[in-house]
Structure 1
Amino acid sequence: MYVGVDFGTTRTVVSFADRGNYPVVSFFDRLGDSLDYFPSVAALRPDETWDFGTAAMDDRPGVRFHSFKRALAAPDVSNDTEIESESVRVRLMDVLVGFLSSLRTALAEESTIADLLAGDEIESAVVAVPAHATSAQRVMTLEAFQRAGFPVVAMMNEPSAAGFEYTHRQGRTVTSNRTQIVVFDLGGGTFDASLVEVRQHAHEVLDSAGINRLGGDDFDEILKDMCLEAAGIDEGTLSPDAEQALREQARQAKEALTPQTRKITLDVDESIVQILVDDFYQAAEPLVERSIAVVSKLLDDDTDGALSGLAGIYVAGGASSLPIVPRMLRARFGRRVHRAPYPAASTAIGLAIAADPSSGYTITDQLSRGFGVFREWDGGRRVVFDPIVSRHEVLPAAGDIRIERRYRPVHNVGWFRFAEHSDLDRDGQPVGDIAPLGLVLFPFDPALRDVEDLAQVPLRRADDFPVVREVYTVDPNGIVHVDITDVEDGYTRTYWLGQSGERAKAAITQPA
């Protein structure tokens, strides 16, 4: 069986290939009710056991972790990152693996494809990450899926997958004169947009942009705060459970909104509060405006004829079901705005299409985030940024991108300050969304190879250190690692950028 898994901030959706169709999997809770998603929720029980998904949503005692995927977007995220709820701290990676393992079990035992999986195990899975995801987020997502037992064959950017679903459903809108689409993907925690060139089943991503922390959770928070203000209640007086219950109420009320809805009614601390929908929309407009500004920049729509080749703007992602989102998009871009029939499932369906070898769909994607290293220059008198990989670098369908630097160092210890960025200014310096990937120290002086803490070694200048080679590799999933090698004797250290120091230190090749 071929499946696509869209691991979302609030909901995880799974689709599978079925003879040219790509239905969404439903999951059953303990009462036998079905959901077309697996809730992205974890619960740590008083006896130190964990529940995930539908089992974590019941009213039994426990500390709940909601929207934990958002922690992956932190600039300094790594395998050592911890998340906190109700003063309880746990490792993010442990929660990710536990959640995805539970998802894998639920598919086999408590889903609409459980019987099918009994005779046809999952052969390949394609999973998604935000287009704007850092290398660390990509490698942690991939590692968590693999540790949970999913046979991952590819990782796709979320809007790229939704683009497959658009072509599958609405390919007639793509003509010889209008061959481009913009995928507007507003999920529970992130926003991404991609400009895609479509030639029948062949897709080429021309550019991508996004906002790592903009999604349905932010709209829920606005509505929750408006209700507290209307009730005259200080948020600090609510218990964590009461606050989360109100946030969940806000989410359900938001998702139930239709263009005809005029009032939102919520129960706040045993008081009934009503919010005018127009007031909520007015408060939410700045969030939507931020996403529209990204699309405008992506299209460069201030240029004459910028929209002439555009077949449509495809509105996908669970949070895009809020009526104000397509309304504001249409006010800005006109009738070319198309709303996905199943916005929360578009990405999962596109992933299943990608996983299906008989679909014939192909993608040529871009890295979407540039990468480089801050280096000491002029004998250490200043620091400059060396851009290694452009954010417009085309990702290979197979194999890796390989970039090499070779030089003779003048210091005994190399300090590498790696970073990803959303853009460069005219001087080649990173601007916009910058994500540091950590500090790497390398012993240019062979006598320092056994020193555990190179940061404590005083810098010493000399001109007789061995020649060093840096090799940067970007795989088809956009994951970056670097090999730093003493060319003279072959001593190498390999670093998976964005990962913990322990993993990097373990990847050392001693000279023969």
Structure 2
Amino acid sequence: MRLGIDFGTTRTTAASVDRGNYPVVSFLDPSGDPHEYFPSVVALVGDGFRYGFEALDAAEQGAPLLRSFKRALGAGDVNADSTIAIGDREVGLLTLLTGFLTAVRDALATTSSIADAYDPATAEATVVAVPAHAHGAQRFLTLEAFRRAGITVTAMINEPSAAGFEYTHRQGRTLNSKRTRVIVYDLGGGTFDASLVNVDGVDHEIVGSLGLNMLGGDDFDAVLADCALDEAGRRLEEIDLATYVRLLDDCRDAKEHLFPQSRRIPVEVDSQPVTVQVEDFYTRATPLVEASLRAMAPLVEDLEGDAPLAADIAGIYLVGGASGLPLVPRLLKEEFGRRVHRSPYPAASTAIGLAIAADDEAGYSLADRLSRWFGVFREGDAGSTVSFDPILGRDQPIPDHGDLVITRRYRAAHNIGWYRFVEYTEVDPSGEPRGDIAPFAQIVFPFDPALQAEGTDLEAIPVRRTQGPMVEEHYAIDENGIVRVRITDLTTGYTRTHAFSRPLAEAA
């Protein structure tokens, strides 16, 4: 069994490999009805948790329900110890992710359309996805949750990169010798990604990726809820949390049933029926779509400035569940015309692309790149100043196997070095980080051999200038786009490292 699994903010989807076809896996709910997704929700029941369809049933009986917990992975300070609230409980985010993916694994093996054939212990390949602009902690926690859930991941691919495979599989006729590139516009439940893909037959190269970690279908639900509150003459402060959650659920369902011909949206606010005019909702939601267009603007602009879309782009491919809102293709077609295409399976496009990646016989290849810059703030002038040093650009290729290694050597000029590593999405004209900045690690390194003894409180020692040893900085990027850092005193051999699978600043 070869499988692609797309862990989504609102729905988790899977697709399998079947002799050159990539059918979407269906899951049975407790009533025996099939669905081409497993709900990404968790409910607190007593001292335990229920996931997916069972969580939705528990919520109907009054259990606290948590939706969109995947969005917590996008926080800049997320780590293996991060927690998340559900009802009156705080639970470890990694524990919750592991429990959910364990439920997905069990559903695949027992109540899915591939249950007779799927065994996670013997699966030949399982390919999973993360947002293109996911930072290192987000990538590591995703992989670790799958591992702890008993699902062996053979590859992890950026979500729009996987959707690029699905585009080529379905829309290959749009590609020719003059139009060789595709922009994947991926608007999911909680995140937005866009990638520019260069296609040569079955070979795919990611030219660039951009995105927003906190823009997705959930935000459109909140806008519709605001419209409904206005229609009811109510303010958000006047209703309790449980009532607002029910309103969001009602708005999500109503939004997903909109058609291009829809004119009115019936919803309920605290049991009060109200009707929202579709155009009023679209007027308020338009800035969200415009934010996505601004985010991906560097990927679409013609290099000569003569057209809104570069001539070598075959199409903009709309994927992700939130791209099903009729407003989204309408605004993109107004901007870019007939080269906008929507996947026939927008919510499953990534899963299908992952299954294609898992299929050795398909022959598809991918050359991906980092989507964030990586750099470090360092101490200067005996600690009186701080300088910034960019290490990796967001156009840095990701190796398809093994590690890509970059090293730097220099003579230290202080007794102690403070390294504050960050990942970031934008740079200012001077090269300083801007935009979405995620702390990666802080390493305090003793260049003075007298300070390298175990247990020394380095943070309490003042930084001073001195003639230090030769130092090596070692950066390794793995095939999942995760960076590892190692700093070594080449004279004494003393080393400190940071990798998401190891403790911060672990001394060798």
The TM-score, its normalising length taken from structure 1, stands at 0.95
Paired residues of 1:155 and 1:477 also in contact (CA < 8 A): yes
Deviations 1:99-120 (A, max 9, x none): 1111111111111110112699
Q: State the SS of the aligned residue for 2:361.
A: coil
Q: Verify the 8 A CA contact 1:388 1:403 in the aligned structure 2.
A: no
Amino acid at match of 2:109: A
- Please give the residue correspondences for 1:12-411 in structure 2 after superposition, counting only pairs within 5 Å: 12-46=12-46, 48-58=47-57, 59-117=60-118, 121-301=122-302, 303-304=305-306, 307-411=310-414
* Aligned: 1:493 with 2:493: no
**Which stretch of structure 1 is more off in the superposition, 157-166 or 121-130?**
121-130
Aligned residue pairs total 503
Q: Report how far residue 453 of structure 1 moved.
A: 4.2
- Look up the match of 2:7: 7
Structure 2 match to 1:450: 454
Matched, 1:422 2:425: yes
Residue 378 of structure 1 and its aligned partner are, at CA, apart by: 3.5
Matches of 2:8 and 2:322, distance apart in 1: 11
State percent identity of aligned pairs.
53
Output the aligned Cα RMSD. 1.8
- Which AA in structure 2 matches 1:264? I
Classify 1:295/1:504 alpha carbon distance in 2 versus 1 (closer, same or farther; 3 Å): closer
CA spacing shift, 1:74–1:118, aligned 2, 3 Å: closer
Contact kept? 1:123, 1:151, Cα under 8 Å: no
Cα deviation for residue 452 of structure 1 reads 5.9
Instruction: Name the stretch that deviates more: 220-229 or 270-279.
Output: 220-229
Return 5+ residue gaps in structure 1 as ranges. Answer: none
Between the aligned partners of 2:424 and 2:381, the Cα distance in structure 1 is 24
CA positional deviation for 1:480: 0.6
Q: 1:453 to 1:148 in 2, by over 3 A?
A: farther
Distance 1:452 1:119 in 2: 46
- Secondary structure at the aligned position of 1:141 is classed as helix
Asked if 2 retains the 8 angstrom alpha-carbon contact of 1:76 and 1:438, the reply is no
SS of 1:106's equivalent in the other structure is helix
Measure, in 2, the Cα distance between the counterparts of 1:244 and 1:389.
Answer: 42
Matched, 1:461 2:465: yes
Q: Which moved more, 1:66-75 or 1:51-60?
A: 51-60
Q: Note if contact 1:86-1:240 (Cα within 8 Å) is conserved in structure 2.
A: no
Distance 2:461 2:288 in 1: 48
8 Å CA contact retained: 1:391, 1:423 = no
Structure 2 counterpart SS, 1:503: coil
SS in 2 for 1:225: helix
Identify the range of structure 1 (466-475 vs 214-223) with the bigger mean alpha-carbon deviation. Answer: 466-475
**Aligned residue in 2 for 1:508:** 507
**Aligned-pair CA distance for 1:429:** 1.4
| Segment drifting more, 379-388 vs 202-211 | 379-388
Could you say what secondary structure the match of 2:117 adopts?
helix
Q: Deviations for 1:437-482, whole angstroms, at most 9, x for unmatched residues?
A: 232222223333312643223334332x432211011111110110
Aligned match of 1:476 in 475, 479, 483? Answer: 479
Alignment partners' CA distance in 2, 1:356 and 1:427: 45
Deviations 1:163-214 (A, max 9, x none): 0000001101101111111000000000011111111111111111111110
User: What CA distance in whole angstroms lies between the structure 2 residues aligned with 1:410 and 1:292?
Assistant: 46
Task: Check the 8 A contact 2:372/2:394 in 1, yes or no.
Answer: yes
The whole-number CA distance in structure 1 between the counterparts of 2:63 and 2:133 is: 33
Bigger mean CA offset, 217-226 vs 85-94: 85-94
Structure 1 residues 15-64: Cα deviation after superposition (integer angstroms, max 9, x where no partner): 11111000111111211122111111111212x11111111111234332
Does the Cα contact within 8 Å between 2:228 and 2:269 map onto a contact in 1?
yes
Q: Normalising by the residue count of structure 2, what TM-score does the alignment of the two structures yield? A: 0.95
Residues 270-321 of structure 1, C-alpha deviations (whole Å, 9 max, x = no match): 2110000000000000000111122332122372365211111101000000
What secondary structure is seen at the aligned counterpart in 1 of 2:503?
helix
1:491 and 1:285 map into 2 onto residues whose CA distance is 55
Q: Work out whether residues 159 and 192 of structure 1, in 8 Å CA contact, stay in contact via their aligned partners in 2.
A: yes
In structure 1, what is the Cα distance between the partners aligned to 2:25 and 2:122?
A: 15
CA distance in 2 between counterparts of 1:19 and 1:314 reads: 25
Given that residues 180 and 310 in structure 1 are in contact (C-alpha distance below 8 angstroms), is that contact kept between their aligned partners in structure 2? yes
Q: Is the 8 A contact 2:383 2:463 kept in 1?
A: no
Query: Structure 1's 119 and 185: CA in aligned 2 closer, same or farther, altered over 3 A?
Result: closer
Take 2:264 and 2:275, find their aligned partners in 1: how far apart are those partners?
6
Contact 1:130 1:159 in 2 (8 A): yes
* Post-superposition offset of 1:234: 3.1
Equivalent residue of 2:253, what SS?
helix
Deviates more, 1:398-407 or 1:442-451: 442-451
Letter of the 1:208 partner, please give it. S
Structure 1 SS opposite 2:177? coil
Aligned-partner SS, 1:307: coil
Contact preservation (8 Å) 1:6, 1:14: yes
1: CA distance, partners of 2:262 / 2:475 = 54
Gaps of 5+ in 2: none
